[in-house]
Structure formats: structure tokens, C-alpha cells
Structure 1
């Protein structure tokens, strides 16, 4: 029904991004003064921005549209101090803050929240990064981002910061429905939301989206399809409120993994360029001829998965939020959520890319021949491999097929605050208890394929025969295992992380001074089991199995990875103490100075289960320190706001412990980092014109490494000296226009400080006009100048063949939308 409606509107309705714009306001940008912006994230209780001794930024729903996001992670790039590598599609982004490392993937030291509770308790679960299960749409009222400071003590496992998406609640009647499509890429989308007060002091809000299309890169099929719906209902009572809310997310989004790019020049001064037949702007290994993936499931039974499912989050959650003020200075708040989470992650990772003859020889020996295995030319011999697709290349692909069987999360945050008049000042005392249980139940079902290098959504798999004509592959499959990763990684987890965290805080204000201090104790219990040959106690993990059931054992079936019947226990406990103390001095009403010191930590989750930290026989910790990584931060800065001008500056100094495992390189890490820098954020408002921006300078260094001492003193990988953003906007009467600049200086691809990733500047633009009182038409362009930007690379130096596997931002995409305000 939705598809038919969109098709019918095809000539009139044009495009949308990840979130729709608010209706055009006739009185200029809706930007509140800082003494009116109330912050609720990672604090004992709500406070205005200028009075807090933490660095915090907010983005309103109206501001989000100007960013022209194609994913939630692209919104996060507009937050000062936040490094969001938003090149993975609508999830799987690597996100860090203030020089804290991205040693593997995900958001290890940063927590993503919805309405004050974590999306997942750990932001870097392998193949289940928290942003995969998060979508930004018309339900969002605003985004708050706290960096450092009290994030260590008001949330678990978030010493770097907290980014919180806060939902609309229907306090004001209204809503909208928006239809859109891409102009130069295939995507159709409908968004809607509506909320209103109801009789009897009730309010409600409901909203969501549905979309379908190929997406911004050439996948050859509808790679993005699905949507979500969220709803809440609130009962206002004499001394507070009680709110119930629910969410249903069922979405499929293609996962963009590293792809081949030609690199010439020197490691320190490289030049990146697209390969013939494979564009860095819109190319991907995804293909209409590479959908069905035959493998063994967690019970070693043959199954066929759809690689086209990409990142498939399935989330069903219900929650409760309540706030009571019974009198005598007391405030009691309660937040509870249960989320049933499952899905899968499927993507194509190039373990190696080389000339067709070199790949054929490496797998089939001298005299090997190649032929198409899938697609319209299946069975046709490739007589001239050097001319294949104009690049003469083949790729050894590993299918990252991961079943996310169970990521259920239950969380409860209960706190009570008492306000007292004391010594001519105001004292607030807070005590609370956070309880959560996070399950991680996944199966890694990797296999190995050989593919042509073609980025238009039509790539075919390739079969190889040795010099005697004997098949080395079968229908493009080289092994039913991760043969290109030394047959690692047939893994299964079923582990539960239970956390209890009591916390306390005090806030004392006297005259112009405000002191804030907080303390938290996290106690964790880790129980469950894991299976996999990587543990070293169950044999090689390979067997000969007739996977396709045709009665014979082919060459790839001789390399079939299986999960051992014997599972190893996981059974250990951990605990850590976090604390934070800050001081604010209000020089005058529009100027405040602050300083803060914090000690926080992050408990490691699934990434240490197959490493040396956990005993595979007992399930206990071999190295107790491996369970927790400590982060220490010093901050000092100022906040100024007066007559439409805002300026905020923070100096930060951070030391970080890191123990981790990276799936693609099979490396374990045990090191420490140091980072310091300056974070500046500013805003200007004059009538209908508004300007916001920020720049962060960071000097980061690896200061110790237990496993790779040679990297000590180097700059951590992908850490740029400068990241910056700027967003000018103008509104007047019936139209609004805005632009968004995102930039970064160069960085190193890996920790050896070899190959450089060039800096880049991306410009996004947005225009909206209102021809009728309740109708708005908008046009948005993401990456207006079609710049090439690379967020990561697998190769530490330029390979001999000059082909680097890198992940790039999307090229230019143009979209438009028509919106009807209800």
C-alpha cells in the first residue's frame, strides 16, 4: 500500500533523508538561550546549560534537517568533539570522543541512549554496534551529547560521554506526514508523527517511518527496506507524571564494508582514486547475483541466509518513566525498559584484492583458469582475465554472516533527590541504583568466496579450476570457512552480563559557585558459554561435510568450519569505582568558568572472550585487569552566552586503558593512550540568520603497548588533529535555506603511522519552501561537491599492487520531500 502510494506521487513527491525538517517558522530559527536550555542527560537532575560543569551540546529537531543526514551517525558528526566515522551505511559506525581510541570498532567508551536508557549496554558488541539498533526520525525532539565529566558516574560503561535521543511526548498538539524519494538514487520513504494533549491530563505521541530502495550506493536490489514505529502516552499527576512508551523496529540496511581503491604516491603523501568499474562514491561488492549464502548454522546444519538482509535489527521494547515530587524538596524518578533484540549482520569483506591471474594462481596453482559462476554469464570461461571489467581484478571475499540470536536488554534506573537550603546556599543530594542485564547470543557463520571487482550491483562470483581442470571452487565458494583468515572465527556466544551500580551525587550552589560531585560503583557478573576452534581446546574446527547435499564432497566442502560440541564456560565477576568532581564559577550571568576531574571505566564484553584474558577451561579471568579499562579525564573551560552569541571552550586531558580484539585483523590489543586538546563550540543568531559551529584539536599518542611495543609514541589510527563542523541557516517567512560543513584533517590508517588517510571537507545543503500554510517542499543535497573522503583503511602501507581496502563516505546524493503539517 505504501509503495503504491509513493509510486503514484512519484512525479510530485521527492526525497527525504534520515530525518525530516520541522515546519518553517516565520519568526526565525527556533534557538533558545542557554539559560532556557535544560539538560537532562548524565546529570543528577535537570540543569540549565550554563550552570553545569560538563561539556554538553544539543541539536533540536529543526537543526537536524540542515545536517542532511543519510544515517544517525551522520548526525553525530555535527557534535563538537565527536568523531563519527559514518561510512558504514545506516549502522556499524565507529564513534569516539575527544581522542579516545577506536582500536577495534563501534563506540567502546561512548554510550548511545534513547530517552535516558542505553540502546545496548555495550556500544561495541562485535557485529552489533549500538547504532545498528537506533533510527532517527520525526519522533526525536532533540539530541543531547555530554562529553566526559559526569557521564562516568550517571551511566555504566560510558566514561567518554553519552549521546541521548529524546522523544517528543505530545505536550503540544501537532504532527506531520512527509513523502519523499531520492532524485539520483533509489529510495522512497514516508515519515509521520502526531501528538496531542488528551482530556484528564493525558498526552500521547506516535510516529515512525517506512522506506524502501537501493540506497545511496549501487547494490543492484532494494538493499534498504523496513522501518519503525514508536509511541508513548503520559499521565500528568499533581506532583509529577507517569509515562509508558514502546518501540518496534524491523529494518534491513546494507552494510558498507571496505572496498578497493587505487592508491599511488607515498605512504605519507598518497593519492586515492577509483578503480575502473568500481567507484569510491557509490560502488559496493553487494550484487543482485550475490544474495543467497549457503553455510552451517549454530547447530552445524546447512542453512541459506540472505546476504541482502545486511544489518537487520529487530527490536521490540516497552518502557516506563515516572517522576514524582512528593514535597519537602524530594524528587523521585524511575526509568525502566525491556527490549527484545535480535537480527543478523551480513556483509562482504575483501580479505584481498589482486589481479585475476594472481588470485587464480594463489588458489589454483600455475595454469589455473577462471569462469563466471553466477549471473547471466554463468559457466562462461573468462579468456582474457587482464581485461576483466576494465580493471583485471578479482577479490577474495569473506562473508561476515553473523546471527544475532539474542541481544535482549533490560535496564532500570531509580534515583531520589533531596533539595535543601544550607548555609545560604542550595544543596541537592542524590542517591540511586542502576540495574541491567545484557545478553549477547551470536553465531559467526563465515565463508569464503571469489568475486569479480565490479561496483554497479551486478558483480558475479567466479569459479577457479587448477591447471588440470579440477575445480577449486564451487559456484564461487572457495571454502565453507574463513579460509582467507586462516580458518578462524567459527564462533558462538551465549553470555549474559548483569550489572548493579549504586550511585550518589551532591550539588551545592552558593552565590556564584557551584560544586558537583558524584560517585558510582559498578559490579558485574558474567555468565554463559562460548564455542569455537579459536579457543584452542577443541581441535581445528574443520570437517568434510556435504553442505549442499548433492551426495559428493567438493573442494570447498573439504574446508567446512564447524562449531565444536563442547562449549567452554564463561564465569567471572568484576567491579570498578567511578567518580567525578566539578566546580563552576559564574563570573556574571552570561559567563561561567568550570573545571572537572573524572575517573570512569568501561567493562569489556564479548571482544575478550576468545583471547588470552579468559581461561577456556574454567571460564575465569586469567588477567583480572582485562575485564575493565579505566579512563581518567581532566577538563577546564568557559561558557559564554549573550545577545544571540554563544561561545564554549574546553581544554581536556585524558588517559585511557585499552584491551580489545579486532575481528578483521585477528589482533589482540593491550595498551594505554594519552590525548589532550581543545574543543571550541560557537553560535550566533540575528533575526532569521543563525550560525553554529565547532572545532576540536586533539594531540593523541600511544604511550604503552604490551604486545606491539613498536607502536609506542605513535598517533593512534584514524585520529585527526582537527575535526570541525559549521552550519549557517537563514529563515524568513515562507522559506529556509541552510548548509552544513563537516571536515577533518588527515590521519593514519593504522597504528604504525604509515599510510595516511587524507583530510576532506564535505558540504551538505538544505532548502525548504512553504507554498501553502501547511505544506512544505524541501530539497537536500548530501556531499554537494561529491568529494572523496576515507574514514578507514585495512592496509598499514601501500601494497605492492597499489590497491588499498578502504571505507569511504558516500558520493553526492540529492533528495527532496513534500511535508503536510497536521
Structure 2
């Protein structure tokens, strides 16, 4: 079956890659910013993100990296987030699968927050995070149509994107006068099969095309009992050069399924020294299970009719969306005009099995329901007992023959229809003065976007095993007859949550920047952006209902729709600014300073906070100072940074095992502060050896915490921000050889992440870990073969704890519940270029 799928995929992708089609563009020719010629390697290191015009990386006054297609090929990342994790200043947790992974910028305490993705300067979706999809790795997948990715950290990011402390701009391949292309096949020992292809070239008459994409099938890094990833995407663009610029039309379609890996228990909470590895393998185990291929979540609609929301865990996160965009650049005398527009339409159907509370002793758990079962099913109840779900109590199960534990987990069925339109218009002009040259840009950005959302959650009782079976907990008489069930075919709480609503957002922004080149060594710049937001929408109100099945307790408190509607209206404004300076001591040594403000508004998921949107005006102050060293093909960029997030709203709804709902709301208001230093560089020695890498040292901490729910917020003051390390780094040595027309590159990679904590009070630690990777690339003529291996020593490491219930720790000094690193895995990549 897998071979057949791979063959069909190869045939389809090769056929469209061999045919000219629509394409996209690269930015216009670079504008020189210095009179003297820089070292050769710097001349080609051109960036377009975060500035009015293209510049060399060495010349800008902020931290930015550009990862080329060759860089991406060598790193061979599992996901876009995995790739971004090689850069300094951005801590990632890339163990959730191919999408929906975690990025945190310079200590800012959010999941995926404030790293704003663009594609050729425009987002695919306006907001950072949609309702259970995100516009980071959730919408931006790597393929051969990715020419490079430019990542700005801090600097002018708040001016060139909304709610951005960093920008990752995906630059697509664009056609040129020379026809070129590539086809690439990847095979992995985790049941990974992928085919990539692209072709770009001229159509004639100053018109060029590029088209490409991928198809992929993957069993998974963890064994769920069904495929982890299947699907693909196609991107294309067509560009026409004009006498004074160009116009470009681009399109994208993505249709992909991706399984979400959640945290697993690794040790027995009754005795944390006892490993659960023989029940749930650390590297391969998962709570995903074929037992959830046919889920039925029953809930009450507004008319009182019982509805069935069906789910299949193998569906995973199924996203389908299309995007079209147009880009125009033109010069009119001294004026440069840029106009971009894009529209995205799509939907997500997301099925996932979320870990909630930690495992518990099976006997104690069952005994805790004896009184409720006796009250509901009568005095003949003598004992509680387990059976496999759906066996009517006959398929008895004794947890003591396994781990002696049982646990709860939550199935989530989520549907979102979304749209986003966005446009940017700007004009740029250079103005000569008696004191240098001003490069002034003035622009406006607008967006209309929205989401229609439906969610249904249901809690299940399961074994503590990989691919667990669902369990029923029944009340038995003294003769062994079933008197009634606590569960309902494995469900411990039917329809524990349902929500539905829709929100539309509108944004208008005005921005301006001035880059003042006082001399060929000294440059000052400043920028300002003001945004007007407007939200409107509704939420379908819910209440608790008993669905009336006397044989089970699971339906006694289900959520259903009352028929009431809560309407929502909200207007907000945000003001961002930045000021920077750059001074070059020589063509090899430079330094810069910068201060910025990021104003953070709400997002359209506020539909479910009716009647009172959780509006907490928040500002982040971003300061940085950097030193730049470049010589030939070697460089070192070092940046000191200070981030202050004030106020920080750390409120959350924790999971309550007694009700099965996230109804324990805790509010913390305070400040998050991070002081740190980041560096990335490459040392190219004489001979075959080179060394690249990045390092971040920081002190992320909470300050001035208070709570309105009676908790002592001061206990969090000075503590390390949840899941943020003080140190993370990667080192990548390479040895290159040539044998005639054959080139061989051998390389390694070491990643290290320091100690982190699961909770506000730093009572449960996520230990530091390091992992090794190895790879090799051999190329001859148009052919290239690559072998890459990750975590080759099977290093242990947690990337998070149990996020549903860990805000106050796990009750142990070292985490026993979390999302581990993937085990050792190897991929073979073979390609041919033309």
C-alpha cells in the first residue's frame, strides 16, 4: 500500500513539475548601501525583510538570519519550527509532529506567540494563531519552492508586521532566463516517503514561471496505529518584468493531514523511581490509539435534540487552504512604489487526543466512584470493576496485571472555516540633504479576516499503555451482574465542552520609516506604526444538561446549546515604534543599537470569552545592542537583548479531574523580563573544516506577580519563566572534500537545551538535555545523495510537561509527564537537478 501510494505520488508530482505553470518572484535588484566593495561572501548575503530596501545583512541595525535552500537541504529539518530552532534567540519545542509546534522569542512567555510568518512579505493568515491552526508551521511548509527564509528577531519587526517581536519571511523561488529544476525523493526509517519537485524558467517576453511542491506519506515518529502525515502542497508563480519594475502573480494550495503528539507519562506517580517505559515506550509510545477511530460526541442542540459529532483520530489536523497573491514593484523617477495583495480561504478539521490529568492508582480511582454509583444504581452495588469499552462489562480488565494505573485524556473535535485578505501599499523615496541621505518609506496595511468555529470535547478513561484501549468502569453486584456504568463506551464525561461562534476582524495600519545614512559608516533609522482594530461576532451560549441515560453517569452533566446568542463588539488600537543606529568601524567590524515597542491587541478567538473579552492591554519593550564581525566566508554576530513584557496576563483555566472540565481559573498578573545574549556565526578555516552554530544565554523571569484568586503570586517572583531555558545552543561542524568532479560533505550537529520548569513556582524541573545528529552529502554532476540521522544516541529529553495541569508542578522535583524527544531516526534523500 505504501509503495503504491509512493508510486502514484511520484507520477503525479513529476508530471506537473515538468510543465511550465504559474510562478512567483524574488525581490528587485539589490541597492548598494556602501561605497566600498565588501568581502565577497557578504555581497550575496542580501536581505529584504525589515527594511525599506534590500540590504546586505552586515549593514542592517538588527538581528537577522537568512537560511538558503542549500542551508535547509543540509539541516534537513522535520518541520519549519525545527529549522527555525537552529537560530539564536528563538527557543523551540518541535516534538508535536510536523505542525503546531512551539516557538518562543527572546523569553516572551507564549506558545507560538509574536513570531510572525510572511510569504514574500504578506501573511497567509492575519493572526499569529488561528483557532487550532497557526500561520507558522501550520500553514508554511518547506519544499523546493522555498528559496530562502529570512528571520528578523526584534529590531523593526513591530513596524513591518502586526503583533511581531520577530518575523519569518518565506521567500519563494522565482523564474529567470535559465530553466532550472530539481526532483527529490526522501525515504525514512519511520515509514517516511516524500517526493519534492520544482521547475522555473522563462516563458518568453520578459515573463518567467516557477512551480513546485511536495507529496508525503509518513507512518510517524511515534506509533499511533495509523499514519501520522499524509498530503502535500503545490505553489506556483508567474512574473513579468516591466520597464520600471515587475508584476507577479502567485498561488498556493495545501491539503495535508498531520497527527498531533501530546505528552505521555514516563514514571509511576506513586513511586517516581519506577519507569513506565515497558508500557509506554519513551521514544515510540503515544496515547494516540486506533480505539478512537470512530468517536461519537453526543450533545444537546438549542431545540433539545441530541446531535452526534463524529470523529476519527486518524484524521489528525486536516488543513485545506488556497492562497492567491499579487505583487507589484515599480520605480517612477525618485519614487519606488510597492503594492501587495493576498487572499486566503480554507478550513481545518482537527481531531486530537489531549493528555489531561496524570495517571492514578486504578483501585483508588474506582473506589472514588462507589458512592456515586450506589446512589445512581441502587443498593445492590457491591464493587466497582473495569472492562474494555464496548464489551458490555464482559471483557474484564485488571489494571494490576499491567501498571496498576488508569488515566483520563480528552478527545477534541474542532472545525474552523477561515478567510483572510490582506494588502500593503507603500512608497519609498531617497532624499539628499546637507547631512547625508534619508530613505523614507510611508505605507498602509489593511486586512479583513475571520473564523467560524465549532468545538466538542469528550473525556475518556484509558489504560496506561501505548495505543491504549478505552476502558469502562462499571458497578457490579455481589453476583457479578452489571448494575450500571460510570462511563459510556469508554467516555468518562460525555460532551464535557461544546462551543460555537464566529468572529470577523478588520485592521487598518499606517506606518512610516526613515533610514538616515549620515556617512558610509553611520546610519540612523526610526519607524512608527499605528493600528486600528475592530472585531464583531457571536458566541452560542451553553449550559449543562443530563441527557437522560439512566445506565451511565457519563451523560449527567453534558454541555449543550441553550439557543441564546452572545454578541461581541470590540475596538482596539495599537502603537508600535522603533529607533536604531548602526556604525561600521570598517568593512569587517560594525555595531548597532536599537529600542522598540510592541503593542499587543486581542485576536479573533475572543468569541469564546463572551460576555467579557479578556482585554488586557499589553506592551513589550525590546532593547538590543549588537556587534558584527565578518571576514571572507567567516562571520560572527553577537546581540545583547532586554525584553520586558508588561503587564503579563498569565491567567489560565486548569483541568479539574473532578468535573472533567478546564474550569479551575487562576489569574496571575505581573511582568515578564528577559535579559540575554545571543550569537551565531561561522568559522571557515583553511582546508576542509568549517564550524557553524548559535548560542543563547538568557535570564527569563517573572516579576511583580499578584493573584486575585487567593494564591500567593509573590512565590513566582524571580522564578524562571515556564519552559524557558537559560541556555540553548547548537554546534554544526562540517568537513568538505573534493575528488575530481565528486564532492563529499560530512557534518555533525549537537543541540543543547538547559534546565526548564513546568510551573510558575519552579517546583518541577524539565532536565537539561543534549542530542547529536550526523549527516553526509555526496554530489556528482546533477545528482546528489544525502543521509541524515537525528538523535543518534537516543538521548532523553522533555520539551514540555503536562500543559493541562502543570502550572503548579507535578508534585515531584523532576517531571514524570511530558513530551519526549523523538528517538533515533534516519532519512535518505536523493535528488537530481537540471
User: Into which bin does the TM-score normalised by the smaller protein fall?
Assistant: 0.7 to 0.9
Q: Compared with structure 1, are the counterparts of its residues 398 and 750 closer, same or farther at alpha carbon in structure 2 (3 Å cutoff)?
A: same
Where does residue 700 of structure 2 map in the other structure?
700
Report the alpha carbon displacement of residue 35 of structure 1 after superposing the two structures with TM. 4.0
After TM superposition, give the deviation of residue 246 of structure 1 in Å. Answer: 0.7
2:510 to 502, 510, 528: 502
Contact 2:319–2:346 under 8 Å retained in 1: yes
Per the TM alignment, residue 494 of structure 1 is displaced from its structure 2 partner at its CA by 0.6
2:568 — aligned with what?
570
Whether 1:61 aligns to 2:60 is no
Residue 313 (structure 1) aligned to one of 311, 319, 326: 319
Q: Which of these residues, 342, 351, 354, is aligned with residue 346 of structure 1?
A: 351
Correspondent of 2:772 among 763, 787, 807: 763
Which residue number in structure 1 is paired with residue 55 of structure 2? 47
2:91 to 83, 88, 102: 83
Q: Which residue of 2 aligns with 1:24?
A: none
Task: Return the TM-score normalized by structure 2.
Answer: 0.86
Choose the corresponding residue for 2:625, options 629, 636, 660: 636
Mean Cα deviation higher: 761-770 or 424-433: 761-770
**Number of the residue aligned with 2:474:** 465
Q: Distance in 2 between matches of 1:108 and 1:590?
A: 35
TM-score (norm 1): 0.87
1:209 aligns with 214
Contact kept in structure 1, 2:388 and 2:397, CA below 8 Å: no
Deviation string, structure 1 residues 701-721 (Cα, Å, up to 9, x no partner):
211234252322222101111
Q: Deviations over 1:157-187 (max 9, x none)?
A: 11x211111111123522211222222x122
Deviations 1:661-708 (A, max 9, x none): 546655455332111111111112246543221111111221123425
Kindly provide the CA deviation profile for residues 578-622 of structure 1, in whole angstroms up to 9, marking residues without a partner as x: 1100011111111111101111122122455555xx6x1xx6x6x
Residues 690, 801 of structure 1: alpha-carbon distance in 2 compared, 3 angstrom cutoff: closer
Q: Distance in 1 between matches of 2:268 and 2:124?
A: 38
Which residue among 398, 407, 416 is the counterpart of 1:395?
407
Task: Confirm or deny: 8 A CA contact 2:9 2:195 kept in the other structure.
Answer: no
Aligned positions of 1:117-132 closer than 5 A = 117-130=122-135, 131-132=137-138
Could you give the per-residue CA deviations for residues 611-643 of structure 1, whole angstroms, max 9, x where no partner exists?
A: 5xx6x1xx6x6x7xx354211111111111012
* Bigger shift: residues 120-129 or 578-587: 120-129
Q: 1:198 aligns with which of 203, 206, 212?
A: 203
Matches within 5 A, 1:90-105: 90-102=98-110, 105=111
Query: Where does residue 331 of structure 2 map in the other structure?
Result: 325
- The alpha-carbon deviation at position 645 of structure 1 amounts to 1.9
2:243 pairs with 1:238: yes
Q: In 2 relative to 1, CA 644–297 (structure 1 residues): closer, same or farther, beyond 3 Å? A: farther
Q: Tell me the secondary structure at the aligned position of residue 558 of structure 1.
A: coil
Query: Which secondary structure does the structure 2 equivalent of 1:63 belong to?
Result: helix
Q: Find out whether 1:647 has 2:636 as its counterpart.
A: yes
Deviation of 1:40 after TM superposition, in Å, equals 1.1
Name 1:167's counterpart in structure 2. Answer: 172
1:477 is aligned to 491
Label 1:9 to 1:559 Cα distance change in 2 as closer, same or farther (>3 A): closer
Q: Deviations over 1:429-474 (max 9, x none)?
A: 100001012213221200111111222x4x2111110244322222
1:383-435, Cα deviation, whole Å (9 max, x unpaired): 532112xx23222111122112x221111111110012222522111000010
Shift of 1:100: 1.0
Separation in 1, partners of 2:736, 2:202: 29
Query: Which residue is 1:252 aligned to?
Result: 257
| Equivalent residue, structure 1, for 2:288 | 286
Q: 1:372 to 1:234 in 2, by over 3 A?
A: same
Match of 2:603 in 1: 605
User: Match of 1:549?
Assistant: none
Q: Tell me: CA distance 1:358–1:271, structure 2 relative to 1, closer, same or farther (3 Å).
A: closer
Distance 1:779 1:9 in 2: 22
- Measure, in 1, the Cα distance between the counterparts of 2:94 and 2:586: 40
CA distance in 2, matches of 1:805, 1:581: 44
Q: Please show how residues 335-374 of structure 1 align to structure 2 within 5 Å.
A: 335-352=340-357, 353-363=359-369, 367-373=383-389
The residue number in structure 2 matching 1:742 is 751
Which residues of 2 match residues 552-701 of structure 1 at below 5 A? 554-606=552-604, 609-611=607-609, 616=611, 626-657=615-646, 658-659=648-649, 662=652, 665=655, 666=662, 667=665, 668-686=667-685, 688-701=688-701
* 1:155 lines up with 2:154 in the alignment: no
SS in 1 for 2:266: strand
User: How big is the shift at 1:553?
Assistant: 6.9
Distance 1:174 1:2 in 2: 30
Supply the distance in 2 between the matched residues of 1:741 and 1:725 (Cα, whole angstroms): 5
Name which of structure 1's ranges 113-122 and 430-439 shifts more when overlaid on structure 2: 113-122
Instruction: Confirm or deny: 8 A CA contact 1:516 1:581 kept in the other structure.
Output: yes
Q: Deviations over 1:64-105 (max 9, x none)?
A: 133232122111110111111111111121211111112xx3
SS at match of 2:386: strand
Q: 1:690 to 1:362 in 2, by over 3 A?
A: farther
CA distance in structure 2 between the partners assigned to 1:364 and 1:402 by the alignment: 34
Contact 1:68–1:764, Cα closer than 8 Å, also in 2? no
Q: Which residue of 2 aligns with 1:520?
A: 529
Larger Rg: 2
Task: Give the Å deviation of 1:655.
Answer: 0.8
CA RMSD in angstroms, aligned pairs only: 2.7
**For residues 436 and 263 of structure 1, what CA distance do their matches in structure 2 show?**
50
CA 1:746/1:705 → structure 2, altered by over 3 Å: closer, same or farther? same
Deviation at 1:155, TM superposition (A): 0.8
CA distance in 2, matches of 1:731, 1:688: 5
Partner of 1:112: 117
Quote how far apart the aligned CAs of 1:132 are: 1.6
Three-state SS of the structure 1 residue aligned to 2:585 is strand
5+ residue gaps, structure 2, are 11-38, 372-381, 656-661
Aligned length: 759
* 1:475 match: secondary structure: coil
Is the alpha carbon distance of 1:643 and 1:777 closer, same or farther for their aligned partners in structure 2, counting shifts above 3 Å?
closer
76-85 or 63-72: bigger deviation:
63-72
